[in-house]
């Protein structure tokens, strides 16, 4: 399912175009370095029964249950909370609020990495003809490292929801692309994929935010990684590069009722 919408109170819409044929996943970005954990007094841990009660109340309807494999504990799940949260790092690196039009900018010669906190993103530039280029940002999410487990992914196959917001910058007919692959343990075998290259209507004031979303369902067993990649269009102008901004990117996993 693909959904395309505008944020509340902004109005408008767009049409999505699907590239023809499957695409091979790009080489996986290097995994981010594990952050150093400062030494601190160990916090008081809840009991296994209390952790189970909290998570079942949070994740499911009354009377609902979820079986865990013997190697996994409810206390560990309570700490990691792998469901119903954004699994991407730095989802809003430039600190832009989607409930207000994208703030005006001038062409800049500063590298994108200097304009915010892009921790976790692998960034490159893809040059096009004339004065255009793509900024390509990608992350590869390790679902098991985030706290999910094989039996849940293979047997229950919870929904995997992708969401993103891009600026209607009017720099070209198409200023944004989304490419997502669900990958097996080898990070190369593609189990499911989704690609979108939406074009906005060109109506209304520029700078509004446009939403793109997709939900993977019934994708089959073996999914261990989600490779998220989006492209945003740039145009060279006097004084530097004018960019299309993007924000509030997300990858999340939800149980189906």
180-201 confidence digits (pLDDT tens): 999 999 999 999 999 999 998 7
Q: State how far the Cα of 173 lies from the Cα of 52, in Å rounded to an integer.
A: 50
pLDDT bucket at 24, cuts 50 / 70 / 90: confident
**pLDDT at residue 42, as a whole number:** 57
Task: Specify the DSSP class assigned to residue 62.
Answer: T
**pLDDT at residue 20, as a whole number:** 52
Give the lowest-confidence range in 57-61, 66-70, 141-145, 216-220. 57-61
Q: State how far the Cα of 89 lies from the Cα of 109, in Å rounded to an integer.
A: 25
Is residue 8's pLDDT more than 50?
no
Is residue 10's pLDDT more than 80?
no
Is residue 253's pLDDT more than 80?
yes
Average pLDDT over residues 15-25: 59
Q: State how far the Cα of 37 lies from the Cα of 40, in Å rounded to an integer.
A: 9
76-119 confidence digits (pLDDT tens): 999 999 999 999 999 999 999 898 888 888 898 899 999 999 99
- pTM across the whole model: 0.85
Tokens of 27: 């080489």
What b/e readout covers 158-170, taking b as 16+ CB neighbours within 10 angstroms?
bbbbbbbbbbbbe
Average pLDDT over residues 165-193: 96
**pLDDT at residue 63, as a whole number:** 66
Q: What percent of the chain has pLDDT over 90?
A: 66
Is residue 6's pLDDT more than 70?
no
* 2-12+86-254 CATH choice from 3.60.21.10, 2.60.120.260, 2.30.40.10, 2.40.50.140: 2.60.120.260
Is residue 19's pLDDT more than 60?
no
212-229 confidence digits (pLDDT tens): 999 999 999 999 999 999
Of 15 and 161, which is predicted with more confidence? 161
Residue 49: exposure state from Cβ atoms within 10 A (0-12, 13-18, ≥19): exposed
**pLDDT at residue 133, as a whole number:** 96
User: Domain segments of the chain: what residues?
Assistant: 2-12+86-254
Task: Tell me if residue 151 falls in helix, strand or coil.
Answer: helix
Average pLDDT over residues 231-240: 94
**pLDDT at residue 3, as a whole number:** 42
Give 3's strand partners. 213
pLDDT bucket at 1, cuts 50 / 70 / 90: very low
**pLDDT at residue 38, as a whole number:** 57
For all residues of the chain together, what is the average pLDDT? 87
Average pLDDT over residues 221-238: 96
Task: Specify the DSSP class assigned to residue 15.
Answer: E
């Amino acid at each position: 399912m693909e959904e395309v919408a505008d944020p509340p109170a902004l109005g408008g819409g767009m049409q999505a175009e699907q590239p023809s044929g499957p695409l091979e996943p790009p080489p996986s970005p290097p995994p981010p370095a594990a952050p150093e954990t400062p030494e601190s007094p160990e916090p008081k841990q809840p009991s296994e029964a209390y952790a189970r009660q909290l998570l079942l109340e949070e994740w499911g309807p009354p009377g609902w249950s979820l079986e865990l494999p013997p190697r996994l504990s409810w206390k560990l799940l309570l700490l990691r909370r792998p469901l119903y949260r954004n699994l991407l790092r730095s989802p809003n690196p430039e600190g832009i609020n989607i409930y207000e039009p994208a703030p005006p900018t001038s062409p800049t010669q500063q590298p994108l990495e200097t304009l915010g906190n892009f921790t976790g993103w692998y960034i490159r530039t893809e040059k096009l003809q004339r004065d255009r280029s793509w900024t390509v940002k990608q992350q590869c999410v390790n679902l098991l490292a985030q706290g999910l487990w094989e039996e849940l992914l293979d047997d229950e196959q919870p929904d995997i929801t992708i969401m993103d917001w891009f600026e209607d910058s009017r720099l070209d007919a198409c200023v944004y692309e989304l490419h997502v692959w669900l990958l097996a343990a080898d990070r190369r075998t593609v189990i499911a994929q989704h690609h979108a290259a939406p074009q906005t209507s060109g109506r209304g004031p520029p700078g509004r935010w446009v939403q793109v979303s997709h939900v993977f369902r019934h994708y089959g067993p073996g999914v261990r990684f989600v490779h998220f990649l989006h492209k945003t269009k740039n145009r060279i102008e006097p004084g530097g590069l004018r960019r299309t901004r993007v924000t509030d990117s997300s990858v999340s996993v939800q149980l189906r009722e």
